[in-house]
């Protein structure tokens, strides 16, 4: 029994290598079929990010499948128990190494140049508008501050919320100020294809234009401590009038608490 398995075992390893690309590609196909893939994009710029993502996925996917297929072929063909004459080790080929260094280097350089516009639009050119809201990450919650009626942050009429719900208007540019109160976090809005590391002491900005209303996930995408898993919130994208009504409602609530505290 053991002897028979050992005779068969070298092919077992070749087949195991073959299973890696099959399961790898299968995972992506099934994820798409069962809707556990990227959530719906509700942003104006998300299409560019998705196109870039799929371009890189297909490129690396093709390289992955070819590499694994070659690995399987060699493991199968040069099986030490079956290959006659036996396998000989080589000390390498200089020209082959030059080729397989230059091809990936050129490919990576191409991706770096190809994505520059998308990166600049998402990270380097904030709209010249006042901040719509401030987001502060802390262990383990997202806190939000709205400028209030004067349109200025850090004044007496600011609205501060710690219940994890962020209300923003859709169909117009939104500019967020992102801070951390303690450690590294990452403010991630999957439906808007936006993710920004939150670094203590650094002022980060995030901007977007949403094209749909609805409620979507806010996630922390940086392991920030024991409670990282519960650091989630909800983003509510509302039409302008409903958004203004919501701000007024939150302001009235806050004023009611202040009056109660003063008495
Ligand atoms: Cu976290």
- Of 68, 88, 108, the last residue of a domain is 88
207: in domain: yes
Å from CA of 173 to ligand 1 middle: 27
The set of long-range contacts for 47-51, using a CB threshold of 8 Å and a minimum separation of 24, is: 48/117, 48/118, 48/121, 49/118, 49/122, 49/193, 50/193
178 CA distance to ligand 1 centroid (A)? 14
Alpha carbon of 187 to ligand 1 centroid (Å): 9
* Separation of CA 204 and ligand 1 centre (Å): 17
- Whole-angstrom Cα distance, residue 81 to residue 68? 21
Tell how far the Cα of 140 is from the centroid of ligand 1, in angstroms: 7
pTM value is 0.82
- Among the candidates 53, 72, 88, a domain finishes at 88
Q: Is residue 125 part of a domain?
A: no
Ligand 1 centre from 198 Cα, in Å?
A: 10
Q: Sign of the C-alpha dihedral, residues 206, 212, 214, 220? A: negative
Distance between Cα 185 and ligand 1 center (Å)? 5
Write the DSSP assignment of 119-138 as a string of letters: HHHHHT---SS--SEEEEEE
Q: Is residue 159 in a domain?
A: yes
Query: How far from the centroid of its chain's Cα atoms is residue 128's Cα?
Result: 26
The CATH number covering residue 165 comes to 2.60.40.420
Give residue 167's domain range: 133-262
CA 36 / ligand 1 centre spacing (Å): 21
End-to-end CA distance of the chain: 86
CA of 5 to the centre of ligand 1 (A): 47
Best CA proximity match to 189, nearest among 45, 88, 55: 45
pLDDT tens for the chain, 263 residues long, are 677 766 666 678 888 888 999 999 999 889 888 888 889 999 999 999 999 999 999 999 999 999 999 999 988 888 777 767 777 788 889 999 999 999 999 999 999 999 999 999 888 999 999 999 999 999 999 999 999 888 888 988 888 899 999 999 999 999 999 999 999 999 999 999 999 999 999 989 999 999 999 999 999 999 999 999 999 999 999 999 999 999 999 988 888 887 788 77
State whether 144 and 246 are in the same domain: yes
Pull the structure tokens for residue 34.
Answer: 């069962």
Give the count of domains, the chain.
2
Domain identity same for 51 and 143 = no
- Among 70, 72, 19, 255, CA closest to 149: 255
Q: Are residues 160 and 58 in the same domain?
A: no
Region for residue 181 given its phi and psi (left: phi exceeds 0; alpha: psi -120 to 50; beta: otherwise): alpha
CA of 24 to the centre of ligand 1 (A): 28
- Please indicate, yes or no, whether residues 8 and 77 belong to a single structural domain of this protein: yes
**106-143: string of b/e by CB count within 10 Å (b at 16+)?**
eeeeeeeeebeeeeeebeeeeeeeebbbbbbbbbbbbb
| CA–centroid distance, residue 222 to ligand 1 (Å) | 5
71 and 168 co-located in one domain = no
């Amino acid at each position: 029994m053991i002897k028979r398995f050992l005779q068969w075992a070298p092919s077992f390893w070749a087949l195991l290598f073959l299973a890696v690309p099959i399961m790898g590609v299968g995972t992506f196909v099934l994820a798409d079929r069962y809707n556990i893939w990227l959530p719906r994009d509700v942003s104006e710029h998300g299409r560019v990010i998705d196109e870039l993502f799929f371009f890189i996925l297909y490129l690396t996917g093709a390289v992955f499948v070819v590499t694994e297929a070659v690995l399987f072929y060699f493991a199968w063909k040069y099986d030490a128990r079956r290959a006659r004459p036996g396998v000989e080790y080589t000390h390498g080929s200089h020209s082959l190494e030059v080729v397989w260094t230059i091809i990936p280097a050129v490919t990576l350089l191409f991706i770096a140049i190809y994505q520059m516009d998308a990166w600049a639009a998402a990270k380097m050119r904030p709209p010249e508008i006042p901040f719509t809201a401030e987001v502060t990450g802390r262990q383990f919650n997202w806190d939000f501050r709205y400028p209030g009626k004067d349109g200025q942050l850090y004044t007496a009429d600011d609205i501060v919320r710690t219940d994890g719900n962020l209300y923003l208007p859709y169909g117009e540019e939104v500019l967020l100020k992102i801070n951390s109160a303690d450690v590294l976090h990452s403010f991630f809005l999957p439906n808007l294809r936006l993710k920004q590391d939150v670094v203590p002491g650094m002022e980060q900005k995030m901007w977007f234009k949403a094209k749909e209303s609805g409620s979507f996930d806010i996630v922390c995408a940086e392991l920030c401590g024991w409670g990282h898993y519960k650091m989630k919130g909800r983003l509510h994208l509302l039409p302008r009038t409903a958004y203004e009504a919501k701000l007024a409602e939150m302001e009235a609530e806050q004023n009611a608490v202040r009056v109660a505290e003063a008495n």
